[in-house]
Amino acid sequence: MSEEHPFIRYFNRELSWLNFNERVLHQARDPQTPLLERVRFLSIFTSNLDEFFMKRVGYLKRVIGRGLLQVGHEGSNPIELERLIREKVHALLEVRTHCFYDEIVPALAEQGVVFLSWKDLSESEKQAAQDYSRQKVFPILTPLAVDPAHPFPFLSNLSVSLGVRLQHPQRKDHMFARIKVPSVIPQWVLIEGETSPPTFRLLSLVDLITHNLDELFPEMEILNVMPFRVTRNADIDLLSDDVEDLVDVVEEELRQRRVASVVRLECADQTDTPILEMLQEELEITPADIYQGSGELNHYALNEIAALPLPQLKYPPHHPVVPAALHDEGVTIFKSLAERDVLVHHPYESFNASVLRFIEEAVNDPHVLAIKMTLYRAGENSPIIPLLIEAAEKGKQVVVVVELKARFDEARNIYWAEMLEKAGVHVAYGMVGKKVHSKIILVIRREGQDYRMYGHVGTGNYNADTARFYTDIGLFTCDPQVTSEMIDIFNFLTGLSLKKNYKKFLVAPLNMEKRFLDLIQAEAEQAKNSRPARIMAKMNSLEDQRICDALYEASQAGVKIDLIVRGFCTIRPGVKGLSENIQVRSAIGRFLEHSRIFYFQSGKSDPLEGLFLMGSADWMYRNLNNRIETILPVTDLKNKKECWKILTYMLEDQQQTWQLLEDGTYHPPAPVREEGLLGVHDRFIARYKKRSEKQKKKRGSR
Residues known to be catalytic: 437
| 547 contact partners, CB below 8 Å, separation of at least 6 | 513, 516, 517, 520, 619, 624
Count of other CB atoms within 10 angstroms of residue 30: 19
Measuring CA to CA, which residue among 135, 270, 228, 143 is closest to residue 189? 135
Contact, 267 vs 226, CB < 8 A? yes
DSSP 674: P
Interstrand relation of 611-615 and 627-634 (parallel, antiparallel or unpaired): antiparallel
Residue 339: Cβ-neighbour burial (10 angstroms; 0-12, 13-18, 19+): exposed
DSSP 103: I
Residue 158 region, left (φ>0) first, then alpha (ψ -120 to 50), else beta?
left
Distinct helix (H) and strand (E) counts, the chain: 20, 27
Residue 570: Cβ-neighbour burial (10 angstroms; 0-12, 13-18, 19+): buried
The CA distance from 614 to 457, in Å, is: 8
Residue 112 region, left (φ>0) first, then alpha (ψ -120 to 50), else beta?
left
Measuring CA to CA, which residue among 511, 476, 452 is closest to residue 634? 476
The CA distance from 419 to 601, in Å, is: 46
Q: How far is CA 116 from the centre of its chain?
A: 33
Q: Tell me the C-alpha to C-alpha distance, in Å, between residue 312 and each of 33, 124, 137, 317, 597.
A: 12, 32, 32, 10, 35
The CA distance from 521 to 523, in Å, is: 5
Measuring CA to CA, which residue among 676, 677, 634, 675 is closest to residue 652? 677
Q: Is the peptide bond before 197 cis (omega within 30 degrees of 0)?
A: yes
Residue 46: Cβ-neighbour burial (10 angstroms; 0-12, 13-18, 19+): buried
The CA distance from 539 to 629, in Å, is: 14
The pair phi, psi for residue 375, each rounded to 5°, is: -130, 120
Q: Is the peptide bond before 347 cis (omega within 30 degrees of 0)?
A: yes
| 702 contact partners, CB below 8 Å, separation of at least 6 | none
The CA distance from 252 to 183, in Å, is: 25
Give me the residues paired with residue 401 across strands: 374, 428
The pair phi, psi for residue 474, each rounded to 5°, is: -140, 145
The CA distance from 346 to 210, in Å, is: 45
Q: Is the peptide bond before 509 cis (omega within 30 degrees of 0)?
A: yes
Give me the residues paired with residue 616 across strands: none
The CA distance from 12 to 71, in Å, is: 11
Would you report the helix, strand and coil content of the chain in percent, each value rounded to 5? 40, 20, 35
